[in-house]
Amino acid sequence: MRTPAILVIHGPNLNLLGTREPAHYGKSSLEDINQNLQNVAKQHQIMLETFQSNSEADIVNKIQSLVNNKVDYILINPAAFTHTSVAIRDALSAVNTPFIEVHLSNVHAREHFRHHSYFSDIAIGVICGLGAEGYLAALRFAIQQINQKQ
């Protein structure tokens, strides 16, 4: 039996976490978030890969690469692409891997243009407004689902 695998995708500008609009996104850096995710994954013997890109094409290509390199679950914060990207949505549908949509901020309490997501209706679930904790909650749920399947 192969080791279960989870891919975490962080969209544009999330490389600036820690310094970027901390009132919305908190003080944790992306490295902190990734390290906390790695720690939990390790405890559960899960392979966890993290990927950040500011480029829509790179994110689409990364998702497409899962055709030959399957993972059990995806956690994705598409960031601004949440509200714009049919291409990333279509890539996720194409690989047909269950995913959880995560946002640090409560997008529904912000500008109107952030209320619509191209991902939520095809996601297993959506977490928003819990800051960095949201990623950990999503990871715990994904691990639970993977373990139930095995």
Helices (H), the chain: 22-25, 30-43, 56-64, 86-95, 133-149
Question: Phi/psi of residue 95, each to 5°?
Answer: -85, -15
> Per rule CB under 6 A, is residue 105 in the interface with ligand DQA?
yes
Active site residue 103: yes
Tally of CB atoms within 10 A around 114 = 17
Q: How many residues bind ligand DQA (CB under 6 A)?
A: 10
- Contact range with ligand DQA by CB under 6 A, out of 30-38, 65-73, 74-82, 136-144: 74-82
> Per rule CB under 6 A, is residue 71 in the interface with ligand DQA?
no
> Per rule CB under 6 A, is residue 53 in the interface with ligand DQA?
no
Beta bridge partners of 49: 7
**Interaction site with ligand DQA (CB under 6 A):** 13, 77, 79-80, 82, 103-105, 107, 114
